[in-house]
Chain A
Amino acid sequence: MRAMQTRRTFLELAGGAALAGAVPIVTIRPLEATPAMLSSAIRNVVGEAPVRTGKVKLEIPPLVENGNTVPMTVSVTSPMTDNDYVKSIHVFNEKNPQPNIGNFYIGLSAGRAQVSTRIRLADSQKVVAIARLSDDTFWSASVDVVVTLAACTEELI
């Protein structure tokens, strides 16, 4: 028991040191977005408003062989009527060099709040979709994706 605690303490220290050591590298060239970058990118879109889970459906394969092109569909449950429709859909990631993937502005004329595209994933990570409704509330869904061949890492010849 005591040995366990010592080991845990050691791991925490080691983890902390690794994190501290990584900070200067991240500031020089951000090779991957951090959870803090993800949350600040989300704050840039939603401001101080709370983001609730629900209404949004994010369809993306849970296991991806090639991170260079990953099909993705976001749909939002909405009647799409004059006083209840979806204004926009925003998609974010956790570990690409940049936390944003795309912003899609749809609006009342869409009839159906659904967007599909193909994205890049540099690593196994969480993908987050956030919808802004006409009453300016925000709803989200997230999916964890495992990527076997990552995007962005190959060198040019």
Chain B
Amino acid sequence: MPSALVNVPRTARRGDIIEIKTLMSHIMETGYRHTSAGEAVPRDIITSFACRYNGTEIFRADFFPAIAANPYVSFFTVARDSGKFEFEWIGDNGFSATATAAITVG
């Protein structure tokens, strides 16, 4: 069961630059490791992450196996309006997870 942790300020003044922090539980198996029996462990990673603010995409990332397990990403945006942030992680083997956060802009 994937679990996401997102940190967005609850309130902000219009025009403030705010930091958004996200953490998603995921093994991020690189595909370059082997079992002691010599078999390759297949790749299982999150390949993309996106954040929408009131429906508009404000941030997107492509992940590679060099992103550490339980991917953490933090980035910035300008608080323009009250509303909703939507986060989406997509990965190998049909992995898909979402999260939301609300903000009040005064």
Contact = CB atoms under 8 A, between A and B. Distances in A.
A135 B30 CA distance: 35
Contacts, number: 104
B66 A111 contact: no
Given A109-B58, A111-B77, A156 B33 contact: yes
Contacts of B77: 109-111
Nearest to A127: B66
A157 interface: yes
Interface stretch (A11-19, A51-59, A92-100, A137-145): A92-100
B53 interface: yes
B95 interface: no
A110 B75 contact: yes
Interface in B11-39: 17, 30, 32-36
A119 B59 CA distance: 19
A83 interface: no
Which range holds the interface residue count of chain A? 20 to 34
A117 to B, nearest CB: 5
A104 B59 contact: yes
A34 interface: no
Contact of A120 (B30, B34, B73, B80): B30
Contacts of A107: 58-59
B6 to A, nearest CB: 14
A105 interface: yes
A97 to B, nearest CB: 5
Contacts of A69: 68-69
A105 B33 CA distance: 29
Interface string A143-157: 000000000101111
Interface of A: 31, 68-70, 93, 96-98, 100-107, 109-121, 152, 154-157
